[in-house]
């Protein structure tokens, strides 16, 4: 990711409705959501939502996929990873002890395959 792409992503997210849309789509990965459902959940008029979705798509943060008559929107988690990596690339001048709590906070909320919830709870307890 370069500076221009990072700025486009931040600009897209620097508006309350778009940030809400993006967070809702992240919460519904990997299934995604149809635009109408997003509009209903966030109580946003369809035409207004369409504009916001277009901005998020152009920023590379979400993608649209047609399924029959519906268009499903999904968060592009790889774009989120790239954005976080761009921000943290030179984190703390290479001092891992300073960066460790920040990186731990970026750990997924759901257990990875083969990782028990007990292991996640233990990790969280260490960082509280």
Give 15-57 as a DSSP string.
SHHHHHHHHHHHHTTTT-EEHHHHHHHHT--HHHHHHHHHHHH
The answer to whether the beta carbons of residues 56 and 18 sit under 8 Å apart is: yes
**pLDDT the model gives residue 90:** 75
R_g of the chain computed on alpha carbons: 17
Confidence of residue 91 (pLDDT cuts 50, 70, 90): confident
Is the pLDDT at 68 greater than 80? The verdict is yes
User: Which of the pair, 95 or 74, is modelled with greater confidence?
Assistant: 74
Q: What does the pLDDT average to over 77-91? A: 86
Is the pLDDT at 124 greater than 70? The verdict is no
Sign of CA dihedral 45, 72, 29, 83: negative
Is the pLDDT at 118 greater than 50? The verdict is no
Confidence of residue 117 (pLDDT cuts 50, 70, 90): very low
Q: What does the pLDDT average to over 62-75? A: 94
């Amino acid at each position: 990711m370069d500076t221009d792409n990072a700025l486009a992503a931040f600009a897209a997210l620097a508006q309350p409705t778009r940030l809400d849309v993006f967070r809702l789509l992240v919460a519904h990965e990997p299934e995604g959501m149809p635009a109408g459902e997003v509009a209903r959940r966030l109580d946003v008029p369809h035409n207004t939502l369409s504009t916001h979705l277009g901005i998020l798509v152009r920023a590379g943060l979400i993608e649209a996929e047609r399924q029959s008559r519906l268009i499903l929107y999904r968060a592009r988690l790889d774009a989120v990873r790239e954005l976080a990596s761009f921000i943290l690339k030179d984190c703390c001048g290479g001092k891992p002890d300073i960066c460790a709590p920040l990186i731990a906070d970026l750990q997924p909320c759901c257990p990875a395959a083969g990782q028990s919830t007990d292991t996640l709870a233990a990790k969280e307890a260490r960082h509280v």
